[in-house]
Amino acid sequence: MDSKGAVANALGVSLLGFEPTEVSPRLFAMAMNTQDSLREYIRLFVRIPLITSIGPLAKMFDFVASAAPGVKEILAVGKLCWEVREKNYDIVIVDAEASGHIVAQIEAPRTLTNIVQVGLIRDQTKWMQEILHDSSRTGVVVVTTPEEMPVVETIELLDTLSAKSSVAVAAVVANRVSGDIFTDRDLPLFAALQAFAGSQQCTAQQQALLTAPLSAVEIAVDRRTHAVTHLALLAQRLRSPSIPLVVLPDVAVNQHNPRQLNEQLAAALSEELS
């Protein structure tokens, strides 16, 4: 659902369209958009075989969507639920909207059900809700980073999902978590080096040699300490109800070889889940 092309960049392919593209053996990707979703909905459910131009209809749809909550969101969610119901794929993974919009999207079928009590739309939203509210079939995976604002926003999203949605949270993924590059035995050595670098016994040449590596160590330790603090706060929130916390390491990004990055993250994810 990301219109910025982040998924295409991550998969190392050109811009994706509405038609699924096989990016790897048995792995298909597509980009959602409202107009093509509307076109497909009309073809499948309104039984109009082909619409070459839906300009006037799209304008009318935008007018209705602006007035009624959940109308625009239902097209994207409906497309995904349709793929699940028809069993066209083994699993459907959605790169959803930002946290401020996700609740409105997944609750769009129930929102429309409250507005429309009878007819085709109510029938459509019923089976969508059955898919979305079945925790054995659907789950929200929240992705965050071990920093203050992302963790706070994640906790707020979890609370909102719990209060306003019946869709289950399957897991929380903490991405880009820096590892312990130093052991407890290393830290006294660096502390001693810092003390020496600030002492009168340290020459200007020695101080110049020590400044950069000691600063790097200080930044790494500080970053790791803050990450552990924020993850501990997040883990405390996940204990009730019990939601898995999956931790992925901070790996070097190769802009020219995104598949290598994907392979590293996939290996880390497989290790975490096992």
For residue range 155-184, what is the model confidence (pLDDT) as tens digits? 999 999 999 998 999 999 999 998 777 777
Q: Which position has the higher pLDDT, 229 or 274? A: 229
Q: Residue 57: is its pLDDT beyond 60?
A: no
Q: Residue 200: is its pLDDT beyond 50?
A: yes
Which segments within the chain are labelled E, that is strand? 21-24, 27-29, 140-144, 169-177, 245-249
The whole-angstrom separation of Cα 119 and Cα 108 is 17
The whole-angstrom separation of Cα 202 and Cα 221 is 24
Q: Which position has the higher pLDDT, 123 or 59? A: 123
Please, what is the angle between helix 108-115 and helix 120-132, to 10°? 150
| Predicted local distance difference test score (pLDDT) of residue 63 | 42
Q: pLDDT of 104-115, one tens digit each?
A: 888 888 877 776
Query: Domain residue spans in the chain?
Result: 32-138, 139-185+221-274
pTM: 0.78
Q: Residue 67: is its pLDDT beyond 50?
A: no
Q: pLDDT of 115-139, one tens digit each?
A: 666 666 677 788 889 999 999 999 9
CA distances from 217 to 186, 190, 253 (A): 10, 8, 21
Please provide the distance, in angstroms rounded to a whole number, between the alpha carbons at the two ends of the chain.
29
Do strands 27-29 and 21-24 pair parallel, antiparallel, or not at all (unpaired)?
antiparallel
Q: Residue 238: is its pLDDT beyond 60?
A: yes
Q: Per mean pLDDT, which range of 49-58, 175-184, 191-200 is the poorest? A: 49-58
Give the bridge partners for 169, in sequence order: 140
User: Burial letters for 11-49: b for 16+ Cβ neighbours within 10 Å, e otherwise?
Assistant: bebeebeeeebebeeeeebbbbeeebbbbbbbeeeeeee
> Quick one: what percent of the chain has pLDDT higher than 90?
27
Assign domain 139-185+221-274 to its CATH superfamily: P-loop containing nucleotide triphosphate hydrolases (3.40.50.300)
The whole-angstrom separation of Cα 234 and Cα 145 is 11
Give the bridge partners for 140, in sequence order: 169
Average the pLDDT over 129-154 and give the result: 94
| Predicted local distance difference test score (pLDDT) of residue 230 | 94
Q: Residue 69: is its pLDDT beyond 60?
A: no
Q: Residue 20: is its pLDDT beyond 60?
A: yes
Q: Which position has the higher pLDDT, 153 or 73? A: 153
Phi, psi of 21, deg, nearest 5: -120, 130
Q: Residue 225: is its pLDDT beyond 70?
A: yes
Q: Which position has the higher pLDDT, 82 or 180? A: 82
pLDDT category, 56, cuts 50, 70, 90?
low
